[in-house]
Amino acid sequence: MGFYRGERWQISYGIESSFGEAPTGATTAANHFGVFEGANLPDPSFDHQEFWMMNADNRNYNMAYRGKAASSGSIGNIILLDGEPLFLPLADAITHSGSNPYTHTINETINLKSIRLVCTNYANDDTDSLTRWFVGGKVNSATYKCDSGGMLMMSLDDIQFKMPYFVDMSPTSSLTPWYDADAIAQTVSLPTTEPYYFSQGVIKMKIPVIGVGTQVTIPSVRSFSISVSNSLIPKYYISTNTEKVPYQIYEGRRTYRLNMQVDLIDNGSFDKDTPFLELLNQGMDTTLKGAAVEITFTRGTNDLIQFLTPSDGSPDAGEEQQGALIMSAPFSISSEGVVGVTMSMKMRDLKVIVIDSLAGGTYPV
């Protein structure tokens, strides 16, 4: 008896040249995300519309008609082995410079790159497989994060797609328009590099209550997360569309949130009262500048990932210059031996820098 095993699967992604392009013999999806143990795949859901009318027999709906289709999924807790997938919720391009070491700079862009996601499930007896190509994908929301004792991770919390195509081996089911003989399995391999461990991370801030000209290290951060929301807008238009899927998925207003769980311990100019004082200070340094935040994971010589806000590292009060603003930092009474707070901050922008030994041509964009 054949069945699909939970351990036997493979997921990868590719960059589309145009939104929602169907599989062809020349299209591939050989880029890896990193290490993860599961995913919620964007299999479509259908909004069948119910109508209660002319029903003399009962209170149930009398007729349903086919409605629009939507496809969304997620991949949680991806352990990053390199910086290749970091751009997905931020930009449609990466700037590459240098020569071993290479510097890859991700500056946010207005548009996002659309991707195809390919997943193949393999049966227990090797007699069957099911391959699904999800096309026209954009990342709606994502999170970069690390906990003490853990590794630098990325979660793709919501990825929205246009539609799927599929190929199954045995028996073959050619359901129109979803079946496509070119939607074949991909060959993917993971890099042999180590993850970025919590013990390789350093978090620094320029805090207005201390002085934005002074950068201080925060040594007692237990965890952090940076969340990105792109507020994607799927659009359905009156046009020929047998599948009833989105014509296009557009980017909406982008927002960022930074959460840091910090133990209140004196360390030089950053002491146990600083989060509370900066909360009340509300980002003021004669003018409303906000804070600069620099989060760096250094895996080795010329081998790091860095998150920056504001993107130039120098908060100011002008347009498109403000840094992060603390929205809350509840100072609660608890049973813990060391009291901590969770600093929730609003960020205006984000820049990511990766330094490694990978040439720009090996990156997806």
pLDDT in tens, 282-333: 888 888 999 999 999 999 999 999 999 999 999 998 899 999 999 999 888 8
Query: Regarding predicted confidence, which is higher, 236 or 282?
Result: 236
Give the number of residues written for the chain: 365
Contacts of 361 (CB under 8 A, 6+ apart): none
pLDDT digits (tens, 9 = 90+) for 189-223: 889 999 999 999 999 999 888 888 889 999 899 99
Average the pLDDT over 244-261 and give the result. 96
How far is it, in rounded angstroms, from Cα 128 to Cα 58? Answer: 45
pLDDT of residue 29 exceeding 70, the answer is yes
Give CA–CA dist 327/239, Å, rounded: 45
Q: Residue 50 forms beta bridges with which residues?
A: 64
**Token output for 347:** 């960020």
Segment 64-75 shows an average pLDDT of 94
Contact (CB, 8 A) for 293 and 301? no
Judged against a pLDDT cut of 70, whether residue 83 lies above it is answered with: yes
Indicate the pLDDT class of residue 364, thresholds 50, 70 and 90.
Answer: very high
Report which of 158, 148, 119, 169 is spatially closest to residue 221, judged by C-alpha positions.
148
Tell me the pLDDT of the chain averaged across its residues.
92
Whether residue 117 contacts residue 33, with contact meaning beta carbons closer than 8 Å, is answered with no
Contacts of 241 (CB under 8 A, 6+ apart): 247
Compute the distance between CA of residue 233 and CA of residue 240 in angstroms, rounded to an integer: 20
Task: Look at residue 171 and tell me whether its pLDDT is greater than 80.
Answer: no
Instruction: Please provide the distance, in angstroms rounded to a whole number, between the alpha carbons at the two ends of the chain.
Output: 43
> For position 5, what pLDDT does the model report?
82
Residue 282 CB: number of other CB atoms within 10 A? 13
pLDDT at site 358: 96
State both tokens at 21. 């392009």
| C-alpha dihedral, 143 to 148 to 150 to 156, nearest 10° | -10
pLDDT of 242 higher than 90? no
How many of the other CB atoms lie within 10 Å of CB of 291?
Answer: 27
- Using DSSP, state whether 274 is helix, strand or coil: helix
pLDDT on residue 338 = 86
Query: Is residue 302 helix, strand or coil?
Result: coil
Helix (H) or strand (E) holding 107: strand 102-107
Report, as an integer, the average pLDDT of 62-75. Answer: 93
Handedness of CA 316, 223, 251, 135 (dihedral sign): positive
Q: What is the pLDDT of residue 49?
A: 92
Q: What tens digit of pLDDT does each residue of 85-126 get?
A: 999 999 999 999 999 999 999 999 999 999 999 999 888 887
pLDDT of residue 272: 85
CA–CA gap between residue 73 and residue 179 (Å, rounded): 20
Q: What is the pLDDT of residue 1?
A: 66
The runs of H, that is alpha helices, within the chain are 274-281
Dist. CA 221–CA 203, nearest whole Å: 8
Distance of alpha carbon 350 from alpha carbon 365, whole angstroms: 18
Distance between CA atoms of residues 110 and 173, nearest Å = 40
> What is residue 111's DSSP assignment?
S
From 212, 225, 197, select the one nearest 305 (Cα to Cα).
197
Q: Is the pLDDT of residue 133 over 80?
A: yes
* Burial of 71: CB neighbours in 10 Å, binned 0-12, 13-18, 19+: buried
pLDDT category of residue 280 using cuts at 50, 70 and 90: confident
Amino acid at 286: T
Residue 98 token pair: 């240098």
Q: Is pLDDT at 174 greater than 80 in this prediction?
A: no
- Residue 205, C-beta contacts closer than 8 angstroms, at least 6 positions apart: 215, 216, 218, 270, 291, 292, 293, 294
| Cα–Cα distance, 359 to 365 (Å, whole number) | 11
Rounded to an integer, the average pLDDT of 126-139 is 91
